[in-house]
Amino acid sequence: MFFVTPAYAEEAPAAATGTDAHAAPAAGEVHTETGVAEGEHARGPFPPFDSTTFASQLLWLVITFGVFYLLMQKVIAPRIGAILDQRHTRISQDLEEAGRLKAEADAAVQTYEGELAAARAKSNAIGSAARDAAKAKAEEERRAVEASLSEKIKAAELRIGEIKAKAFADVGTIAEETAAAVVDQLIGGTVAKADVADAVAAAKKEA
């Protein structure tokens, strides 16, 4: 900060106009604490390019760089590294989780396919067994029906044979009686039953 010394040319006594170093300045002159007029500072070089301040500038540059370097090394870099490590760990965990889920999905698909194949094989086996059982049952029923029909046919044949034999026996008796009646009507006499039976038997042989 600059201080402007007021001009007091009119207040100073006439004796103060000598060559004393502490004499009051003339009217209109401006002085600062450094003894240099304000206008001279305005005409000086730009401070960063002032060669007289290079040493202090380099010193402050080194100090600032050192503080910034320590700040980067002790605070910023560890935080960035921790964030990167955390993200890397999270990405690795996500990849591992994705791999695990994929493996579980593949295992589930394989299990499903295996169970589906087993179910198909079991259904085919059940169908084949059912067909075989139905076929065997039908064959057994057919054999039972054939056996029953065979028994019935045999019984019918026996019955027919009995009826036929009885009919033949009755036919012989009827023929003998008829022959005896015919002879009785024709000749008016009786014939022995033995002769009639022999004649009927001879007729049967010839027939």
Kindly report the number of other CB atoms within 10 A of residue 176's CB atom: 20
Domain ranges of the chain: 162-204
Record the tokens describing residue 154, joined without a space: 């045999």
Find out whether 5 and 25 touch, Cβ atoms under 8 Å. Answer: yes
Q: How far apart are CA 9 and CA 181, in angstroms?
A: 209
Q: What is the pLDDT of residue 164?
A: 77
Q: How far apart are CA 12 and CA 104, in angstroms?
A: 106
Residues 6 or more apart in contact with residue 50 via CB below 8 angstroms: 44
pLDDT (tens digit, 0 to 9) for every residue of the chain, 207 residues total?
A: 344 444 433 443 433 344 444 444 444 444 444 444 454 445 667 777 777 788 888 899 999 999 999 999 888 989 999 999 999 999 999 999 999 999 999 999 999 999 999 999 999 999 889 989 998 989 989 889 988 888 889 888 888 888 877 776 766 677 667 766 776 666 665 666 666 666 666 666 655
Whole-angstrom CA distances from 89 to 17, 43, 75, 76 are: 87, 62, 21, 20
Residue position matching structure tokens 């589906």:
116
